[in-house]
Amino acid sequence: MKENSQNEMLFAWDQLLASTEVNQEDLPHLGSLRARLSTRVEELRCLQSERNLLRGELQNTTEEIRQALAHCQDLASRLRSGVKGIFGIHSEKLLEFGIKPIRGRGRRLKGKPRAVCRESGSTGSPASSSSESM
């Protein structure tokens, strides 16, 4: 239920309680219902107040979590940088720390022939031979 509709309902109940209070001489048999409604309305107001306090605490806690995450991210970045400084950016040892080492591209040797495609017997990549057969 939306907070506006809750406030509208509380307003309507307050009016009802005020009207029954003014006219209690004409409505003596409804006194116990009025008292019970009054008690529950006050309980509801307390719960809404508690909810608002908890929302504030939630917002504060969320901000603290964001700050802690940013601080941890900074510290982890510094730690990774230190590990790279010790082992070097190309070391396979970096994998133990969850860091990808920088690897060079595979070089193609000048004297090495291209792979031969088994289907057509032509040289070249399999992608080029499949486009020729179409």
Which whole number is the average pLDDT over 34-39?
Answer: 96
Task: Enumerate the domain spans of the chain.
Answer: 3-101
* Confidence (pLDDT) at 134: 44
| Token pair in block for residue 28 | 């003596």
Q: Which residue has the higher pLDDT, 19 or 114?
A: 19
**Is residue 38 scored above 90 in pLDDT?**
yes
Which whole number is the average pLDDT over 28-51?
Answer: 96
- On average, the pLDDT of the chain sits at 87
* Confidence (pLDDT) at 4: 79
* Confidence (pLDDT) at 105: 81
The predicted-structure confidence for 75-134, as pLDDT tens digits, reads as follows 999 999 999 999 999 999 999 999 999 998 877 667 666 666 666 555 555 554 444 444
* Confidence (pLDDT) at 65: 98
